[in-house]
Amino acid sequence: MAVLVGKKAPGFTANAVVNGGEIVEGFSLEQYLGKKYVVFFFYPADFTFVCPTELLAFQDKIQEFNSRNVEVVGCSVDSHFSHWKWLQTDKNQGGIKGVKYPLVADLSKTISENYDVLAGNYDYSESGDVTFKGTPMAYRGLFLIDKNGIVRHQTVNDMPLGRSVSETLRMVDALQFFEENGEVCPADWHKGEAGMKATQEGVSEYLSNK
């Protein structure tokens, strides 16, 4: 599994569905460079079981992300047509109607491959045929990308393990606190709490106030 933290987020151009139903060709994260932070997350597939709980949970908190100047963008190996249909399907029928942030279509699986979250890989059989070993879907990868396009935080969950949206917000707060104050964030830090100077004296002062 590649560690992308500290590196430029892999670029892509793909079809996407935005605003809950508008199909866009040539969607790219480059539109946010210099302007916004991005939470870019992968999920295995449309019309599954854990996935709608995650996508709806991100939508429930979308105002909190937006208030922090963060764009949330989802991605799976499904087509934009599948995304569109899922977005039109009511929650009580397994759909995610009401989700407004962009969903990227990674039908070629190249975006998942470049972010190293594809749960398998292409190979050749003894007869020379192309085969796929593993599961041709993405793990639950999540990447926090700063305004310069650099990955600052990443997590990757196996498919049965849903993510914590609150933890994602906490990491956004931690990054922005560090950028604004130059102080680092200790264990279990939350917005509104004191940071810590990145010196031995700063550590001692922080621990003495605990």
Q: Which residues are catalytic?
A: 51
Q: Which residue matches tokens 């963060």?
A: 70
In which residue are the tokens 């393990």 written?
A: 161
Neighbours of 110 (CB within 10 A): 14
Residue with tokens 């106030």: 209
Structure tokens at 26: 């040539």
Cα 17 from Cα 75, distance rounded (Å): 10
Specify the amino acid at residue 103: L
Instruction: Let me know: does 26 contact 126? Beta carbons within 8 Å.
Output: no
Cα-atom radius of gyration of the chain, to the nearest Å? Answer: 19
Among 192, 197, 139, CA closest to 169: 192
Cβ proximity of 44 and 121 under 8 Å: no
